[in-house]
Amino acid sequence: MGASAAGVTAGEERDAEHERERDGLGGHGAECIRRVRRHSSGSDPAAALVAVCPTMNIVVTGANRGIGLEFVRQYLARGESVVAAVRSSSAAEALRALEAAHPGALRVLACDVGDDASVAEFARALGDAAVDVLVNNAGVRGEWTSLEAMDTDEALRTYSVNALGPLRVTRALLPHLLRSETRKVAHISSGMGSIGDNTSGGAYSYRMSKAALNMASRSMAVDLRDRRVISVVFNPGWVQTDMGGRSAPVPVEQSVHALVALIDGLAASDSGDFLDWRGKRYEW
């Protein structure tokens, strides 16, 4: 049975693929499985896991509720180190409970993604830490109004948070991302940002802000390719959150579980893509 240049046999590759399909693990999880199998012969598999699969450093913005909070929960549950960025750290009760349940694994820091100074201070608070994965999740719904009723000042505020916010954070954390070998940036967009999928109109400020985010991610993928930074936008689906409402068809736990696995599996060839939570390319 032949082996790859990295010393992984074809059988191990097939086994890892089977594990990935069964457990929803992406590239990080599947690679850990392969490493543990190579290193745990005759030893404790748990010790081998710690030795060969170091904890990743994850940053999640908009982490106080909904999709962002669920990202924090799921990354902590699998043993990662997480920095949760929230607009107001004093109003983050759920995160404080997670902080107590995972001592040393979670930091809750203030970061208003719509404010340059706040984002800069957030980056300074990270010191010289590496960031393996940045999840740009913070966003606002804005006003979903008709053309005649649209408030342009409100639209500019929505654009500043939803489109410029991820740019501000990615720019500020770029030195931290470059200290990592993983270098992944996942932007949480929306199907509402798809031009090709817009058949119902309205929601001008929200739609336009998310379409702009999609373009920003594509430009980042091009501009940061030589520095091996992967930038992808995701449509998480219509999710059961405060924004999506209780009637939404997709439980937040299901959407985020799928997104975490997709982020794990991202490769350089995916950079610049617009993907849905099932891993399919979404129309621009």
Cross-strand pairs, 134: 59, 185
Picking from 45-54, 172-181, 273-282, which range would have the lowest pLDDT averaged per residue?
45-54
For residue 273, how many other CB atoms are within 10 A of its CB?
A: 17
Give 187-197 pLDDT, tens digit per residue.
Answer: 999 988 999 99
Q: Which long-range contacts (CB under 8 A, 24 or more apart) does 90-97 make?
A: 91/64, 92/63, 92/64, 94/64, 94/65, 94/69, 95/63, 95/64, 95/69
Picking from 39-48, 84-93, 98-107, 246-255, which range would have the lowest pLDDT averaged per residue?
39-48
Main-chain phi, psi angles of 283, to 5 degrees: -70, 140
Using CA atoms, how far apart are residues 22 and 99, in angstroms rounded to an integer?
30
In contact, 236 and 188? CB cutoff 8 Å = yes
Q: Is the pLDDT of residue 16 over 70?
A: no
Instruction: Indicate the pLDDT class of residue 42, thresholds 50, 70 and 90.
Output: low
What DSSP string runs through 253-267?
A: HHHHHHHHHHHHH--
The beta strands (E) that lie in 131-209 are given as 133-136, 184-188
Give 107-134 pLDDT, tens digit per residue.
Answer: 999 999 999 999 999 999 999 999 999 9
Picking from 24-38, 61-75, 225-239, which range would have the lowest pLDDT averaged per residue?
24-38
Domains detected in the chain: 1-54 (no CATH), 55-276 (3.40.50.720)
Give 219-249 pLDDT, tens digit per residue.
Answer: 999 999 999 999 999 999 777 666 666 776 6
pLDDT of residue 54: 72
Q: Is the pLDDT of residue 48 over 80?
A: no
pLDDT of residue 30: 52
In contact, 170 and 185? CB cutoff 8 Å = yes
pLDDT of residue 120: 98
Query: ∠ CA 111-100-260 to the nearest 5 degrees?
Result: 60
Q: Is the pLDDT of residue 26 over 60?
A: no
What tokens appear for 224 in the block?
């940061």
Tell me what the mean pLDDT of segment 26-42 comes to. 51
Using CA atoms, how far apart are residues 180 and 121, in angstroms rounded to an integer?
21
**Pick the residue with more confidence: 108 or 39?**
108
Q: Is the pLDDT of residue 141 over 70?
A: yes
pLDDT of residue 11: 43
pTM confidence score: 0.82
Q: In whole angstroms, how far apart are CA 262 and each of 15, 185, 242, 266?
A: 19, 12, 24, 6
Q: How many CA atoms lie within 13 A of 18 on its CB side?
A: 6
In contact, 110 and 92? CB cutoff 8 Å = no
pLDDT of residue 92: 84
pLDDT of residue 8: 42
pLDDT of residue 9: 44
In contact, 186 and 165? CB cutoff 8 Å = no
pLDDT of residue 17: 42
Q: How many residues in total does the chain contain?
A: 284
